[in-house]
Amino acid sequence: MTSHDVAALPHTIVLADAQPLLRMGVATLIDAQRDLRVVGQAGSAAELTAQCALHRPQIVCVDLALLDPLPEQGIAALRHLPQAPRVVVLTQRNGEEDIYRALRAGASAYLFKDVPSDELLQGLRTVGQGGSFVPPPVAARLTARLHGEVLSPREMQILQQVAAGHSNKRIGLTFGISDGTVKSHTKRIFCKLGVSSRTGAVATAVQRGLIAL
């Protein structure tokens, strides 16, 4: 096989999404292209692993929800497979933290499910050629995440308790700290998130993908 023949081969893709109809639609779109080909589909993380072992695709196009509860670990695991595929995330999750963690774990592209079809195809082609693809709406959210201050593990724990509607006293009892310490943590959380209230902190945290309600 010559180098020209290799270059002419389509980029092989495994689609992974829990929704069969969505997979079918994306597969139909991809298979209509001469330079892209779906070689396998998966409706669960276990099926995805099996499909990768069977087909050794160049690209895995996966929904973050399929890799729960720790999507970033799922992406990292894919990137460490023999003949590791490049990872394109196609998901409904638009939180800044989701995007940041996925790309940090090794994803080459991050796309929302309402992406125009030509943009999805462009992303797959770019990744298949060894590049990265982050469209403007995703890049804007990622920039906001990178410019924001990171919450400490303790602050994340307290934020989750705040989101659950727990009082400072109850939070203090949960973690064995005083009400004053809880208030200090809460103030730092408000400052880092750029808010002035519990409601604002929860809303911003949900928007950024730090927590889910």
- What are the beta bridge partners of residue 14? 40, 60
Per-residue pLDDT tens for 92-148?
998 888 898 899 999 999 999 999 999 999 999 999 999 999 998 888 878 777 766
Range among 1-15, 37-51, 190-204 rated most confident: 37-51
What is the average pLDDT across 158-187?
A: 94
**What's the mean pLDDT when you consider all of the chain?**
91
pLDDT of 205 reads 86
Q: Domains of the chain: which residue ranges?
A: 3-146, 153-208
Question: Do 3-146 and 153-208 fold alike per CATH?
Answer: no
pLDDT of 212 reads 77
Distance CA 46, CA 36 (A): 24
Identify the band that residue 7 occupies on the pLDDT scale cut at 50, 70 and 90. low
pLDDT of 147 reads 67
User: Who has greater pLDDT, 195 or 91?
Assistant: 91
**Residues recorded for the chain:** 213
Structural contact between residues 134 and 86, judged by C-beta atoms closer than 8 angstroms? no
> E strands along 31-186, which residues?
36-42, 59-62, 86-91, 109-112
Q: Residues with Cβ < 8 Å from 121, sequence gap 6 or more? A: 29, 30, 33, 36
- What are the beta bridge partners of residue 90? 111
User: To 5 degrees, how large is the angle CA 186–CA 192–CA 196?
Assistant: 60
* 197: Cα separation from own chain's centroid: 28
Query: Domain 153-208 carries which CATH code?
Result: 1.10.10.10
Q: Residues with Cβ < 8 Å from 163, sequence gap 6 or more? A: 202, 205, 206, 211, 213
Task: For the chain, give the percent of residues with pLDDT over 90.
Answer: 74
Q: Compute how many other C-beta atoms are within 10 angstroms of the C-beta atom of residue 68.
A: 11
Q: Residues with Cβ < 8 Å from 207, sequence gap 6 or more? A: 95, 96
pLDDT of 4 reads 47
Distance CA 144, CA 17 (A): 28
What architecture is the 3-146 domain classified under in CATH? 3-Layer(aba) Sandwich (3.40)
User: Who has greater pLDDT, 211 or 62?
Assistant: 62
For the cut 60, the answer to whether the pLDDT of residue 6 exceeds it is no
Q: Which two tokens stand for residue 183?
A: 């208030």
Show the DSSP H helices in the chain as ranges: 3-8, 20-31, 45-55, 71-79, 96-105, 117-128, 136-147, 153-163, 168-175, 179-193, 198-208
Per-residue pLDDT tens for 27-43?
999 999 999 999 999 99
3-state secondary structure of 70: coil
